[in-house]
Chains A and B, each alone.
Chain A
Amino acid sequence: MATKQEALQVEGLRVEFLTDAGRLPAVRGVSFSLLAGETLGLVGESGCGKTLTALSVLRLVPPPGRIVSGRISLAGKPILPLSEGQMRRLRGDRVGMVFQEPTAALNPVLTVGAQIAEALRAHRACSRREAYDRAAELLAQVGVPAARQRLRAYPHELSGGMKQRVVIAMALACRPPLLIADEPTTALDVTVQAQILRLLLDLQRELSMALLLVTHDLGVVAQTCRRVLVMYAGRIVEEAAVGELMSEPLHPYTKGLLASLPPLDAGGGRLVPITGNVPELASLPSGCAFRPRCPEVLPVCAKVDPAAEETAPGRRCACHAVARRLLGRDAEAHDGVA
């Protein structure tokens, strides 16, 4: 039951791709909730389904992808039954989105001011003059110097970091209570990334906004999020508070990911990679999708796909080995989810 305290609640989300190879499951039963004002990190590598999950919240899944089942609620209000028109009224107003490539998100033939104003006027009744004034305010708020003049700039005249600030301004124009950021800093330089992260955190504090941050960068997650979800092959394999996840990861995939990162404070040595490759959607292994690469694999892992179990308050993990170790669960007798 979604409550108003929860800015976002996702239950059992399933997204599929219709292809000549059949129906490929890209998101396989994802459930989580995000409290108002909280920052939640959604971490995973390419192909794990994190971007699709984010797009599903806005109902912007592109064909041949399709939301097959599940429930998504924004501030307690289910959005999957809504019509496209109703959904459009929510986008930008109740939930904003920042994408990875700022260049792709901006229309090259419109000035930056025009695009922010457009975002405003889609949801608020205001005149062009008012919209432009507000756009200038927003630009200043996101740290663009000489904001008033910059309204007349075209996207190609701005650097990557500036463009991303503009995109953020557009996303926040109507002060939505929820912001979804999909790899917002991946395409930016390291120094610019730090500045944009600072901007996002400042804005989140000022606007008391909930933030769903999708990324593959564990460093970004560690410094910005309070809680983290780890996704692999369309499922959430672990959920924890960020400190616990980094210091005591439970799922073998999380452990493998952390172990394979080259540390910044020491050089040389040998990294411990995760053997193998991410599986193709068309040929997911039976049982647990991580099984072929898992150092802690058990016989049951080939038969039963582990469900996410709560191992401690606020901690979930979808792994038979972990369930056995921490919950004394005998996986053979367990009615797992196939």
Chain B
Amino acid sequence: MTGGMGREGGLFSDVWGALRHNRRAVFGLVVIALIVLCALLSPLLAPCDPDAISLRAAKEPPSAAHPLGTDLFGRDILSRLIYGARISLRVGVISQGLSLVIGIVLGALAGYFRGRVDDFVTFLINVFWSFPGLLFVLAFAAATRPSIEMVYVALALISWVGVARIVRGQFLSLREAEFVEAARATGAGSGRIIFRHILPNSLGPVIVVLSMGFAGAILAEASLSFLGLGAQPPTPSWGTMIDDGFRYIATKWWLAVFPGAAVTLAVVAFNLFGEGLNDALDPRLRANLTAWRLSKKRYR
């Protein structure tokens, strides 16, 4: 016997219900799925070995044998793109994963315990926030040996701030929520309250930040590799591919344009998905999807 508004519980079904009506977000999700597939199934999807050098077939434009052409060393660009997805995703996953862990831990501590802990974490946030992102990564690279691992760490160091701020904000407001008080009155300790009550209710906005962060990470990796500071040859990273090919952009455009398009597409996809998630998590979702959609269309 239910008299309330029926929606099967859980974050996912709520969010999916809103997301699937947002065409741009679905497009983003589809592209992301494609990239993930490329990364996971690269050996199956790639027509050629990405490292197979053939000077005879070098710098060939798109053809039947090589749908996206070959690069300076005769390697198939399509295959390199597919394998390159691995690098990009790996950068995203590891850097955002690290930033998620750091951000949640610090944000939760600051928001829940407040006082001196909060002061310290806020200080850290302000310090890291004021670093211009890419420049920091460059400086980091200059100080250490250029490598892809360094890119992960550097990116995590600038991304955690976004996560931490959101988590901290959520904790600050949710710690006063009535269901948290109820848990306290039941005798629940801080640990249980943090992990079982506040954290699950904070994750929504965090996922949005992560999605945007993913986009940023891919772009940063491409930029760094382009500058020679990230992935090293012969690793097929989209950034190194652009680096190899950009000086031939006028004559042998396929060398740089395809990897460039891949980066652009990936970044756009993650951004669109992240925006769609943000809209889907809007508190008005709770009340009524159509009302919310109608309100979005107000300025048509």
Name A's B-contacting residues (CB within 8 A). Answer: 17-20, 63-64, 276-280
Across the interface, do A63 and B289 meet the contact criterion of CB distance under 8 Å?
A: no
Neighbour of A18 across the interface among B1, B5, B290, CB < 8 A:
B290
Across the interface, do B3 and A20 meet the contact criterion of CB distance under 8 Å?
A: no
Q: Which chain A residue shows the least CB distance to B292?
A: A64
Q: Which residues of B contact A19 (CB under 8 A)?
A: 288-291
B139 CB–A CB distance under 8 Å: no
Q: Which residues of B contact A280 (CB under 8 A)?
A: 3, 5
Q: Which residues of A contact B295 (CB under 8 A)?
A: 63
Quote the shortest CB–CB distance from B296 to chain A (angstroms). 11
CA distance A88 to B295 in the complex (A): 22
Neighbour of B294 across the interface among A63, A276, A278, A279, CB < 8 A:
A63
Q: Which chain A residue shows the least CB distance to B291?
A: A64
Q: Which chain B residue shows the least CB distance to A278?
A: B3
Across the interface, do B291 and A63 meet the contact criterion of CB distance under 8 Å?
A: yes
CA distance A63 to B295 in the complex (A): 8
Inter-chain CB contacts under 8 Å: number: 25
Q: Which residues of B contact A64 (CB under 8 A)?
A: 288, 290-291, 294
Q: Which residues of A contact B3 (CB under 8 A)?
A: 276-280
Name B's A-contacting residues (CB within 8 A). Answer: 1, 3, 5, 288-291, 294-295
CA distance A276 to B1 in the complex (A): 9
Interchain Cβ contacts under 8 Å between A and B, 13 examples: A17-B288, A18-B294, A19-B288, A19-B289, A19-B290, A63-B291, A63-B294, A64-B288, A64-B290, A64-B294, A276-B3, A278-B3, A280-B5
CA distance A279 to B1 in the complex (A): 11
Across the interface, do B290 and A20 meet the contact criterion of CB distance under 8 Å?
A: yes
CA distance A63 to B287 in the complex (A): 13
CA distance A64 to B289 in the complex (A): 10
Q: Which residues of A contact B5 (CB under 8 A)?
A: 280
Q: Which residues of A contact B294 (CB under 8 A)?
A: 18, 63-64
Quote the shortest CB–CB distance from A114 to chain B (angstroms). 28
Q: Which residues of A contact B291 (CB under 8 A)?
A: 17, 19, 63-64
Q: Which chain A residue shows the least CB distance to B5?
A: A280
Quote the shortest CB–CB distance from B2 to chain A (angstroms). 9
Q: Which residues of B contact A18 (CB under 8 A)?
A: 290, 294
Most buried by A among B288, B289, B294, B295: B288
CA distance A63 to B290 in the complex (A): 10
Neighbour of B289 across the interface among A20, A276, A278, A279, CB < 8 A:
A20
Quote the shortest CB–CB distance from B251 to chain A (angstroms). 54
Quote the shortest CB–CB distance from A112 to chain B (angstroms). 30
Quote the shortest CB–CB distance from B146 to chain A (angstroms). 52
Q: Which residues of B contact A279 (CB under 8 A)?
A: 3
CA distance A278 to B294 in the complex (A): 27
CA distance A18 to B288 in the complex (A): 10
Quote the shortest CB–CB distance from B106 to chain A (angstroms). 34
Q: Which residues of B contact A17 (CB under 8 A)?
A: 288, 291
CA distance A20 to B1 in the complex (A): 22
Quote the shortest CB–CB distance from A91 to chain B (angstroms). 21
Given A19-B288, A63-B295, A278-B3, 9 more contacts at CB 8 Å? A19-B289, A64-B291, A64-B294, A276-B3, A277-B1, A277-B3, A279-B3, A280-B3, A280-B5
Quote the shortest CB–CB distance from B34 to chain A (angstroms). 29
CA distance A276 to B3 in the complex (A): 9
Q: Which residues of B contact A278 (CB under 8 A)?
A: 3
Q: Which residues of B contact A277 (CB under 8 A)?
A: 1, 3
Quote the shortest CB–CB distance from B5 to chain A (angstroms). 7
Quote the shortest CB–CB distance from A281 to chain B (angstroms). 10
Most buried by B among A18, A64, A280: A64
CA distance A276 to B2 in the complex (A): 10
Q: Which chain B residue shows the least CB distance to A279?
A: B3
